[in-house]
Structure 1
Amino acid sequence: MARVPNVTFKTRVRDESIGGENPFRWQDVTTDDIFKGKKVVIVALPGAFTPTCSSTHLPGYEAKYAEFKAAGVDEIYCVSVNDAFVMFQWGKNLGVKNVKMLPDGNGDFTRGMNMLVKKNNLGFGDRSWRYSALVEDGEVKQLFAEAGKSDDFGDDPFEVSDADTMLNYLKK
């Protein structure tokens, strides 16, 4: 399979040395920082605070984090075409403690994965198609992309990118 695209993510990280009401700073994170020498699961979804993403998709991976670790996964990253502030607040709202939230504000990573779709019909603009991927040392080993990828959101399928499908694959 292919390698993940080489991009830099614009993230916000807590820095206690800053102090005050907003102890965060910008930090660039590259695909090498995330994937080099690691076994990583990507959970990619259309948007923070959207119904399926918030009720089932991301919470499923968070709930089964220990099982993923037991299956040899180093990290799970949730990627969405949202900015760092939105991804942080969404993770906080859902109580996410284990899955790392990865903002792809410009859609560079999503575009490089050939998963960028236009959701102008909903007023969303460019978004990620729903998928999950197993990445080992930067190489995509398995991709579970939902059927019917298109620029029309339609039914927003959620059949194969769930946590159980990925766990079953890992346990083979």
Structure 2
Amino acid sequence: MTSNVPNIVFKTRVRDESIGGDNPFRWQDVSSDDIFKGKKVVLFSLPGAYTPTCSSTHLPGYEAKYQDIIDQGVDDVYCLSVNDAFTMFQWSKHLGIEHVKMLPDGNGDFTRLMGMLVKKENLGFGYRSWRYSMLVEDGKIVKLFSEPGFSDNCPDDPFTVSDADTMLDYLKS
């Protein structure tokens, strides 16, 4: 793990009413600097949109604790997954996410450079992110909570330290 977040460009979709029609979205490149520079950010990463623990607990947990996290001086909370922008958008819409920002790492570039890219071929997922959360201040990783047992084709899905409560406890300490 590096002390700085990887410097990459995320391929995102943003709402743009000037486009009109049923799909008023356009592509927008967002850099690591756009997200992290001069800000205090909580980012959590998970294996995949619509998957059980990610959908039932991980993302909803951060959404539920969003204001508590922001109240600790955090500027933004991001959910990252090795999924495309369309999937991330529809997943957040499906779950009613209003506050946590969705960050698609479709090519897995950020995840790979974080050293968190793992094979999940045993589940038919290909390459995905290991589950983790981190506090980043001005592009520097201050604290990283990585789930135990980091490995390719992990037979289970550890979820013990990357949850919103663990991050919130750390922020309050």
The one-letter amino acid paired with 2:145 is F
Distance 2:33 2:74 in 1: 16
How far off its partner does 1:153 sit? 2.9
Q: Following superposition of structure 1 onto structure 2, how do residues 93-112 of structure 1 map, counting pairs within 5 Å? A: 93-112=94-113
Distance 2:4 2:10 in 1: 17
Distance 1:153 1:87 in 2: 23
The DSSP-based 3-state class of the residue aligned with 2:18 is coil
Deviations, residues 40-89 of structure 1 (Å, cap 9, x unaligned): 00110000000000000000000011101110110000000000000000
Distance 1:15 1:37 in 2: 26
Corresponding position of 1:127: 128
Deviations, residues 21-48 of structure 1 (Å, cap 9, x unaligned): 1100000000000000000001100000
Distance 1:39 1:73 in 2: 5
Asked if 1:8 corresponds to 2:9, the answer is yes
Distance 2:95 2:29 in 1: 24
Moved over 4 A (4+): none
Corresponding position of 2:55: 54
Corresponding position of 2:157: 156
The one-letter amino acid paired with 1:13 is V
The DSSP-based 3-state class of the residue aligned with 1:41 is strand
Instruction: Give structure 1 stretches of 5+ with no counterpart.
Output: none
Corresponding position of 2:65: 64
Distance 1:155 1:71 in 2: 32
Corresponding position of 2:23: 22
Deviations, residues 129-164 of structure 1 (Å, cap 9, x unaligned): 000000000000000000001111311000000000
Distance 1:45 1:6 in 2: 20
The DSSP-based 3-state class of the residue aligned with 1:159 is coil
Distance 1:56 1:74 in 2: 22
Distance 2:123 2:67 in 1: 36
The DSSP-based 3-state class of the residue aligned with 1:59 is helix
Instruction: Give structure 2 stretches of 5+ with no counterpart.
Output: none
The two structures have a TM-score, normalised by structure 1, of 0.99
Greater shift, 82-91 or 150-159, is seen at 150-159
How much identity, in percent, do the aligned residues show?
A: 74
Corresponding position of 1:168: 169
Number of aligned positions between the proteins: 172
The DSSP-based 3-state class of the residue aligned with 1:17 is helix
Corresponding position of 1:74: 75
Distance 1:118 1:66 in 2: 34
When the two chains are superposed, the root-mean-square deviation of aligned CA atoms in Å is 0.7
